[in-house]
Structure 1
Amino acid sequence: MNRLASDKLPPINGLYKLTKWIEDHGLKKAAVTNAPRPNAELMISKLGLKDFFDVVIVGSECEHAKPYPDPYLKALELLKVSKDHTFICEDSASGIRAGVAAGMPVVGLTTRNPENVLMEANPTMLVKDYEDPKLWSALEELDKKGDSLKTAA
């Protein structure tokens, strides 16, 4: 099953454009997932991102998995970063809930779940993929402000 899944894993549109932006800005990076570690590491490797992430956080290795904030809080701790200078990209309602509960702005991706389901989890914004102009407008604003995304009040 892993082989079949990994052979058919196309990256989300704009993924490498976003990873380049993140690297160009010197940001620290964590993969936070509820998938079992071997599956997560296989997917990361197949996408060519093995050297991209500083840490891989697996929900089952935390006290509570998503939708609890524990995996994201563990990522902050391991990366030694403030939630005030962080943003999350998530494609599931439980992941969005986890990021929101951890107090971080969350970009919801409508690549796997319907928009209405994701909106119920209260993301900062929803985007179609990593090429969505809404995402790039927000990143340009970050560049102008030299600040982190602000959560919606």
Structure 2
Amino acid sequence: MPALATSLHLFPNNPILRTKPYFPNFSSTIPFGFSASSSSYPINSNSSLSFVAPLEAILFDIDGTLCDSDPLHFYAFRDMLQEIGFNDGSPIDEDFFINNISGKHNEELCRVLLPDWEFEKAMNFMVDKEALFRRLAAEQLEPISGLENLCKWVEDLGLKRAAVTNAPRSNAELLISMLNLQDFFEVIVLAEECARPKPFPDPYLKALNALKVAPNHTFVFEDSVSGIKAANGAGMAAVGMATRNPEKMLLDAGATLVIKDYNEPKLWENLERVVKEKLPL
């Protein structure tokens, strides 16, 4: 698979994946017991996206936002950290993953998880972890329910769109291709090619500049605290995806609205309201 030429990759003459992408069996469930608690999350009914009207663009995180990939990251970190004796050899649990790992950039994770290691050695560990994640993802990947309908809605309205991720290039390419979205996104921004990753606003600011859209007429789908803070820092509202992270955590980070998936009626009520609005409130 060819690498993205830059962190801003335009797709009209898309060189990514000239061959037919691989599609997993999306109907299968992840068999490892990573429980999804999002179905129990209430929606924040007091929030509205109407202030972003008229809507120009929607930006998407990738991991946990386009696809349910957090369990695969969890398994990869759990097994590899146990191998090196992290936490006295006891495997990390889901709470530790959510509170200390989810949404963070690998350079930051080197400091969080392996502070006593030389940076180069710690980064090599992260490279190996990402390779294990890609092997797991190639076998099983869960898209967020309703994603296909949302993408069609975005295309039918002619809205601009970008993917903005802290994930390394190889992960971003794999997940986007497996979801068959390589022709959907006009721009992909890789945080590793920005001055600073999320939670800093740099990746989202770069996407806004590339799409030539205003932050007050754009919103973001994000599943992590760091991503929501980055979106807010760039002047945009964020819809929190409670696929794995608790609703309260996302709201406390600054999410305008929290949903469990793209089928959520509250989301579509907001989208219809935004489209009907002619001027921002």
TM-score by length of 1: 0.92
For 1:3 and 1:29, how far apart are their aligned partners in 2?
Answer: 28
For 2:194 and 2:233, how far apart are their aligned partners in 1?
Answer: 15
Match of 2:210 among 78, 81, 94: 78
Task: Report the equivalent of 1:114.
Answer: 246
For 1:41 and 1:53, how far apart are their aligned partners in 2?
Answer: 12
Task: Report the equivalent of 1:94.
Answer: 226
Task: Report the equivalent of 1:55.
Answer: 187
Q: Deviations over 1:27-49 (max 9, x none)?
A: 11110000001101110000010
For 2:194 and 2:160, how far apart are their aligned partners in 1?
Answer: 20
Task: Report the equivalent of 1:39.
Answer: 171
The aligned length equals: 149
- The structure having more radius of gyration, on CA atoms, is 2
For 1:26 and 1:146, how far apart are their aligned partners in 2?
Answer: 16
Match of 1:67 among 199, 203, 206: 199
**Identity value in percent:** 56
Q: Deviations over 1:66-118 (max 9, x none)?
A: 00010000000111111122110001110011001111111000002111211
SS at match of 1:29: strand
Q: Deviations over 1:119-145 (max 9, x none)?
A: 110111001111111110100101211
| 1:92 and 1:118 in contact (8 A); partners too | yes
Task: Report the equivalent of 2:267.
Answer: 135
| 1:85 and 1:147 in contact (8 A); partners too | no
Give, as a single letter, the amino acid of the residue that structure 2 aligns with 1:121. Answer: A
Give, as a single letter, the amino acid of the residue that structure 1 aligns with 2:167. Answer: A
Listed as ranges, the gaps of 5+ residues in structure 1 are none
For 1:14 and 1:119, how far apart are their aligned partners in 2?
Answer: 22
Deviation at 1:25? 0.9
Match of 1:17 among 128, 149, 170: 149
Task: Please list every run of at least 4 consecutive aligned residues from structure 1 whose deviation after the TM superposition is greater than 3 angstroms.
Answer: none
For 2:277 and 2:213, how far apart are their aligned partners in 1?
Answer: 19
TM-score by length of 2: 0.51
Pick 1 or 2: higher relative contact order, CA cutoff 8 A, min separation 6: 2
